[in-house]
Structure 1
């Protein structure tokens, strides 16, 4: 089977010595046992059974496993993939666990590339187009709190300097601007749809008091929240 031309789904193990390479296809790694130390140019992770990881084509990486290990590997030819993909470190939630289970079933028969495996591979590739990154999920769950870029970078296992550039490429905004927009939209919604006091809204949005909320709102919107509500 020519590497990079056909789908390959199989179990693999890795040695204790660091190795390094890149390949001309995408690759999903699903831990079954043990963990894998992985390093790319900007990421350094220890991949364990709680997560899965996607490596895009032409991404040079170093890897090793220091314990007894087994991984389910899905090699995805380029013609299945979106035009541009990036490495993704994802929580192995119920949906990804179900996908792993189905892939394990297909991995039993490596003599034939079944229609089911092809369909599964297309589905996995489609999820790359719509999946959100863990740090962006974190922002949506915690944007009312104080969030440091270093915290977000750590979630993605990126260097903080690279993370800000990566985030802007992905969203079109800096992390600070993205968080501000979420808070502002929430503040506007509360001002329009509730009769809450400024103190209650400021507390809900994550400000210590209504004065700091008002100053922030004027800076963002150009008018005080009271006037925004009135209009």
Structure 2
């Protein structure tokens, strides 16, 4: 394929179809980063040309030729597509900005305050309200479609790269073991809540891989606002709250409390030092992953390798039927030996432990969701609701119905 003048016109025609179908702005820059054409003509979008050519020009000279989705600090999202044939550089097509969700007035006010009142409020609000809302999955599909229309090749969604503009800052946190030792010497010792529950459970179980998977699937636009005066302050408050909860569940998962609280203090101090919203996100992810890693280390030190593997298998298969045979095949030990070893190290039989793990999961579901008892019993593979209720009462002393009626405050304190 040769881009040339006619092909440049073809790119313009593709963009016209795109704008008519999805109401998305676009621009085309040549290899010297000079603007060739854009739509809407005469538009004055605050982050459109200036953010691309002055603040983030590196995206106009990327070496990759597949679509790259870039989200700026205040949620404006663009698709960048480099037009390169063999070794010849024809420029970069920029599609956007769009928004992943409609921003609330308090969020926009926070953005403005963070910018120090540099922009007119009416103009700023009008700009954001004019942007089309397109979720990331649909945006990936648009990137795939445009790539196909230009290059004539079909790519899969996982080929579409996603990036976030983040502030570069030193996120290294002092070793908490050293701090604890020093302290001893001194003798100074709104999205779906079910998502939150599941996320924090991954920390309690020391499962960083699942934690990262959940973080990447964070529901769009559902976070609360803990400061109306500043979006950055709101982000920090949310991060501090999440770190506090992460501390508690890490302790519940087996992490030594002094280590957990020291980590919490160090990360909260770092959060307060950050000067950009995306830096807060980056640091929070690091904090939660550190908690998960530490819990995993604690579990592995507490039990032998076969029993640690059994723990992990049970936690990752709670919503499936689990038997001793499953564990035997997983750790490759004789059933009698595994049963004896498990009882010796854990203090209960395999079946008792599986029941307790499922009831603990049921308590989370009762606390954080409105699922019926029938649905919970089915999800956790109990024979029926009656069997679920019987086992629940045997382990907790009360029925699941009564447990739910007492409120969900235990989800944090248990």
Q: TM-score, normalised by structure 2?
A: 0.23
Q: Which has the higher contact order (CA 8 A, sep 6+)?
A: 1
- Tell me which protein shows more helix as a share of its residues: 2
Q: TM-score, normalised by structure 1?
A: 0.40
- Structure 1 or 2, whichever has the larger Rg, is 2
- Tell me which protein shows more strand as a share of its residues: 1
